[in-house]
Structure 1
């Protein structure tokens, strides 16, 4: 299970979650991208699906995959919206997610607080997302430290809107970095799509 996390809101986590989900998914085994941000649940908007059904509709007799909606903004991705679900519902939903039959990507809340810790605690590895600015990287470093402490160490750093001139290694200590260029429609851009595939290849190489 993969967490897409970062220290700053608006740095591109949701777009990266969908892009990486598309790169990891196939027509027969689509990725499952899950919104775990109760305060700012915007995955459904980016994915082009309705806000419901979502994780609040998962029950003991209803599998998460039966509730998920097929994304229209990207291919080979199913989506579980959050839409301000109660805290306990998010915990239960994360605990019920499939772990072997398809890639699962958690779109995490920003920061290093309790809400961000919840999905990181369930994840195996983290994709750390940041803008190429000192403040964004400093905030992401706090999230990286929390991810490591919770057993989901960052496998890769992704700098969004980056020309490749910034090296995040001193702050983030990630083994690899992918620079995603600034484009007007990142889920429709071939340049951005190539970077999502690059991220997926790094994750595959690291058996994430």
Structure 2
């Protein structure tokens, strides 16, 4: 595994697209919805985006978008298709690299397979401005190694004690064992203004106390019934309901991420009440 970690560090230094890994400690918090809509929102801002389905065991980004890719990462690993066949245009400025779902080999991807995919991502990231990885939930080797490749890990949480506990465990493992320094947090499915900021504050206090780093609050996404409508119609919310409350939050999130600081990502002070990355008014109530 150390060889893969070293490879990820080398790839990060090699340049290319800025890479954002969207992760969560547990499933069911809306991680993939965040990844898809963030990628689409970045594309609507004119950024060239490559969305990579890196949940290799239960890949479903193609299902959420209602597309049927002619090639996926599993086929590329097996030598059935060339690398250049993987990106599929799914919107203006946005391409998808799909993964096969339910394939045991992908779910149990070995170290050589993971290393090959890391190398492929380095080749692909030269084509775009942003690469957004939708990681699997939890702390499996694939999650940890691909998170180490990213410029920032965006952790999605919701108002559930298990979500916060597992988010802390994820951040701890990625920081202590993979050397990840830069974490953003998105509070998803927020029911009232201010709730997201308070949720973030709970997590940030524990992370700062025990890990001596602090994640950056990237904002909250409100609970929005139109998200279910978009899922049922297999479209991104920002595409089919661009003026919905959650769509506006995703667009603000994209602007915040796109304007992130270029420092070393180690944030040691608590956020102020007017956190400039706040979305939907959350931080003002934190």
Q: What TM-score comes out, normalization by structure 2 length?
A: 0.63
How far 1:143 sits from its partner (Å)?
Answer: 1.4
Q: Residues 39-118 of structure 1: matches in 2 within 5 Å?
A: 39-50=57-68, 52-58=70-76, 62-64=82-84, 66-71=85-90, 75-83=92-100, 84=103, 86=106, 87=109, 88-97=112-121, 98-102=124-128, 103-118=130-145
Query: Which deviations, in whole Å up to 9, do the C-alpha atoms of 1:20-63 show, x marking residues without a partner?
Result: 11122259753111111122111111122115411124379933
Bigger Cα Rg: 2
Comparing 21-30 and 47-56, the one that deviates more = 21-30
Asked if 1:167 is matched to 2:199, the reply is yes
- Which protein is richer in helix relative to its size? 2
Separation in 2, partners of 1:28, 1:182: 27
Q: Secondary structure at the match of 1:78?
A: strand
Alpha carbons of 1:101 and 1:152: their partners in 2 closer, same or farther (altered >3 Å)? Answer: farther
RMSD: 2.6
Structure 1 residue ranges (4+ consecutive) displaced by more than 4 angstroms after TM superposition: 26-29
Q: TM-score, normalised on structure 1?
A: 0.85
Distance 2:47 2:257 in 1: 17
**Separation in 2 of the partners of 1:182 and 1:24?**
21
Number of residue-to-residue matches in the alignment: 205
Unaligned runs of 5+ in 2: 1-18, 205-213, 228-236, 263-286
**Is this contact kept in 2: 1:7–1:140, CA < 8 A?**
yes
Consecutive unaligned residues in structure 1, runs of 5 or more: none
1:184 to partner: Cα distance: 2.4
Deviations 1:160-188 (A, max 9, x none): 11133233233244221411011123314
